[in-house]
Chains A and B, each alone.
Chain A
Amino acid sequence: MKSPYNFKNIKKFTQGLIVTSLLYSTIIYAGTPVIKIAIRDHLFFPSEIVIPANTKVKILVENHDPTPEEFESYELNREKVIAGNSKTVIYVGPLPPGNYPFFGEFFPRTAQGTVIVK
């Protein structure tokens, strides 16, 4: 007579499911590491960044020069223009271990760097 599928149980189950998924989602969304790279005088600071292997990483590029620069990397398959005195976000990874060079396409002779994946 008393079925386990009555309304009260379903409501409690759904509430529990929502709370659990919210908890998991904060863990997942909080997990993307952020690394900062600054562009100053057509140079990258730092020019070498180390990120963990097989992890998605958010790179925050801040261009402190008044001129625009283009962050480009053939190995990372990333290309983005950053206007003068602006910042932007570039996602990289997950990547296998290795060295992935990047450069500033507008000033390639000085703006060079490497992403080291360990």
Chain B
Amino acid sequence: MLLNSVILILQETLEAALLISVLLALNFQFRKSWTWLPYALIFGLVGASLYAFYISPISEWFDYVGQEVTNASIHIAIVFAMVCYTAIVSTNIAGRAYSLAAALIVSLAILREGSEILVYLSGFVYQTEEFPAVGVGASIGFGIGLSTGIIAYYTLVKLPGKWSILLPLALLAIFAGSMASQATLELSQADWLPYTAMLWDSSSLISESSIMGQLLYALFGYEATPSAAQVAAYLGAILLLVISACIPRYYRRVTQQC
């Protein structure tokens, strides 16, 4: 029971922690302030609590697929926020827009991951004999996820030259792809998207249930049996981010602004 809660909380924390560390690394490179972070954390936690508290009625929306629709909406909103964020840092727009975009990404990510952690933990509040083990396991898992995020942050900010911005941005694009792919999966689970064929089956190479598979899932949104729609969404989101990073610079060069 303890091991299970370690793994579960670690998975959820890792996904959010990596995203936050990439954003903070970029924050450092662009010499921006950290003042948006506490607000984002608070909003994320409040949102996660509300979602977890109302998970029952939300799950009944849209003929029992309310959960998928809500999760997909959150993932799509994160991709949208990432596109705005990339466009904002590429054009050096005023600090408020930057803080808003960064805060939005972080709070939505915490909302999504945090809600699942809270729903899991809420189930044990009434089972007093198992709660200590689950509580300890959850703390350990959270600690490992947090530490990994911190290590990732310091690794990213110590990168040389142009890689200090390019690599975090590339990671951000990959996270956007992962979010889009998850949104697509959720909508097909809700039968809101039609069935598309499985593009490949790499479960013999890297199984999703293996440790490597879980790590790759947290980092890159790795799927052993992705559908065509998922792969299209993944690549499409990456393309969107690349475009939002390049077009402002191209536009500036064309109009000869400094």
- Note whether A and B form a binding pair: yes
Interface string of A66-79 (1 = CB under 8 A from B): 11101000110111
Q: Which of A55-86 contact B (CB under 8 A)?
A: 56, 58, 66-68, 70, 74-75, 77-84, 86
Q: Which of B137-164 contact A (CB under 8 A)?
A: none
Q: Is residue A89 contacting chain B, with contact meaning CB distance below 8 A?
A: yes
CB atoms of B67 and A77 under 8 A apart: no
Q: Is residue A9 contacting chain B, with contact meaning CB distance below 8 A?
A: no
Q: Specify which chain A residues have a CB less than 8 angstroms from the CB of B223 in the assembled complex.
A: 77
Given A74-B224, A91-B191, A82 and B126 contact (CB-CB distance below 8 Å) = no
CB atoms of A78 and B56 under 8 A apart: no
Given A67-B123, A67-B124, A82 and B59 contact (CB-CB distance below 8 Å) = yes
Grouping DSSP codes into helix (H, G, I), strand (E, B) and loop, the A interface class, with mixed when no group exceeds half, is loop
Interface string of B29-57 (1 = CB under 8 A from A): 00000000000000000000000000110
Q: Specify which chain A residues have a CB less than 8 angstroms from the CB of B126 in the assembled complex.
A: 66-67
CB atoms of A89 and B8 under 8 A apart: no
In the complex, 30 of the A-B residue pairs with CB atoms within 8 angstroms, ordered by the A residue number, are: A56-B195, A58-B191, A66-B126, A67-B123, A67-B126, A68-B120, A74-B203, A74-B224, A77-B223, A78-B189, A80-B189, A81-B59, A81-B116, A81-B119, A82-B59, A83-B55, A83-B119, A84-B123, A86-B56, A88-B59, A89-B64, A89-B65, A90-B189, A91-B188, A91-B191, A94-B195, A106-B4, A106-B8, A106-B120, A107-B4
Closest-by-CB residue of B relative to A94 is B195
Interface residue count for A (Cβ, 8 Å)? Answer: 29
Q: Is residue B113 contacting chain A, with contact meaning CB distance below 8 A?
A: no
CB atoms of A106 and B67 under 8 A apart: no
Q: Is residue B104 contacting chain A, with contact meaning CB distance below 8 A?
A: no
A/B pair count, beta carbons within 8 Å: 68
Q: Is residue B231 contacting chain A, with contact meaning CB distance below 8 A?
A: no
Q: Is residue B238 contacting chain A, with contact meaning CB distance below 8 A?
A: no
CB atoms of B64 and A87 under 8 A apart: yes
Residues of B within 8 A of A (CB): 4, 8, 55-56, 59, 63-65, 67-68, 116, 119-120, 122-124, 126-127, 185, 188-191, 195, 203, 207-209, 223-225, 227
Residues of A within 8 A of B (CB): 56, 58, 66-68, 70, 74-75, 77-84, 86-91, 93-94, 105-109
In the bound complex, how far is the Cα of B39 from the Cα of A87, in angstroms? 35
The smallest beta-carbon distance between B8 and chain A, in angstroms, is: 7
Q: Specify which chain A residues have a CB less than 8 angstroms from the CB of B227 in the assembled complex.
A: 77
In the bound complex, how far is the Cα of B167 from the Cα of A109, in angstroms? 39
Q: Specify which chain B residues have a CB less than 8 angstroms from the CB of A81 in the assembled complex.
A: 55, 59, 67, 116, 119
The smallest beta-carbon distance between B120 and chain A, in angstroms, is: 6
CB atoms of A80 and B8 under 8 A apart: no
Residue of B119, B127, B189 near A91 (CB, 8 A) is: B189
The smallest beta-carbon distance between B111 and chain A, in angstroms, is: 14
4 new A-B pairs (CB below 8 Å) besides A77-B223, A94-B195?
Answer: A66-B123, A74-B203, A74-B224, A77-B227
Closest-by-CB residue of A relative to B217 is A74
Residue of A75, A82, A88, A109 near B4 (CB, 8 A) is: A109
Q: Specify which chain B residues have a CB less than 8 angstroms from the CB of A106 in the assembled complex.
A: 4, 8, 120, 123
The smallest beta-carbon distance between B134 and chain A, in angstroms, is: 10
Q: Specify which chain A residues have a CB less than 8 angstroms from the CB of B190 in the assembled complex.
A: 91
Q: Specify which chain B residues have a CB less than 8 angstroms from the CB of A108 in the assembled complex.
A: 4
